[in-house]
Chains A and B, each alone.
Chain A
């Protein structure tokens, strides 16, 4: 199993550009989520999905869109990039939501917005 994969690994955008961060998992997990990691802030939940066709907002959803058309894929879209979105983005998946399920994380995408 490849586990959770993310592309690209690094990306530089100009303010106002749009892009999609890709995330895929091959473990048949129902639950997938996106986090951003900023210095001193830990990980903050952006959006999550409990299954194909179902998504919901996390703690910091503004400026991001998601969709879940298949069990395997959960892309994150930045509609109009802003410098405040400079961060490291992690995708994660698990069998279910909440206790006792552990999450499996991808390697991350480091995004810089200039």
Chain B
């Protein structure tokens, strides 16, 4: 079945550092890919999405490109802020309900 694997956390970075969170997937067909973010004590919010190969999703300085050849959707940000501290979930939507990765906790220190 469909699955998502994302890098284990936690990840701790200093403010203004570069962020990469790796995500790879296994799916049949042509899934859509998402990154959701969960801030402390809150529900999940959509951060960005890509619905077909080579699409780049972007929001709030975060970017991810749908790479079909490497089955990847890595999340990147050039300069993280303390306010980016949260848990990030790579997620796949194919022919079935959403499939989530296990989440990566990011802590950004000033």
Contact residues of A with B, CB < 8 Å? 4, 33, 40-43, 45, 48, 58, 90, 92, 97-108
- Residues 32-65 (chain B) with a chain A CB within 8 angstroms: 32, 34, 36, 42-46, 49, 51
Contact (Cβ within 8 A) A101 B93: yes
Contact (Cβ within 8 A) A102 B97: no
Contact (Cβ within 8 A) A98 B100: no
Contact (Cβ within 8 A) B43 A90: yes
Mask: chain B, 74-110; 1 = CB below 8 Å from A; 0 = not = 0000000000000001000111111011110000000
> Which listed residue (A42, A48, A106) contacts B89, Cβ 8 A?
A42
B interface, over-half SS: loop
* Chain A hits for B98, CB < 8 A: 33, 43, 45, 92, 103
Contact A102-B100, Cβ < 8 Å, known A42-B89, A107-B42, A107-B43: no
Mask: chain B, 19-42; 1 = CB below 8 Å from A; 0 = not = 000000000011110101000001
Closest 3 interchain pairs by CB? A99-B32, A105-B43, A42-B102
**Residue on A nearest B96 in the bound complex, by CB:** A98
Contact (Cβ within 8 A) A99 B102: no
Known: A33-B97, A98-B93, A102-B49. 8 other contacts (CB 8 A): A42-B101, A90-B44, A99-B32, A99-B51, A99-B93, A99-B95, A105-B45, A108-B43
Cα distance, A45 to B89, chains bound together (Å): 15
**Residue on B nearest A31 in the bound complex, by CB:** B97
Cα distance, A99 to B95, chains bound together (Å): 7
B109 to chain A, nearest CB (A): 22
* Chain B hits for A106, CB < 8 A: 43
> Which listed residue (A40, A58, A99, A101) contacts B30, Cβ 8 A?
A99
Cα distance, A92 to B65, chains bound together (Å): 25
Q: Mind listing 12 A-B residue pairs with CB under 8 Å?
A: A41-B102, A42-B89, A42-B101, A42-B102, A43-B89, A48-B97, A92-B98, A97-B96, A97-B97, A98-B97, A106-B43, A108-B42
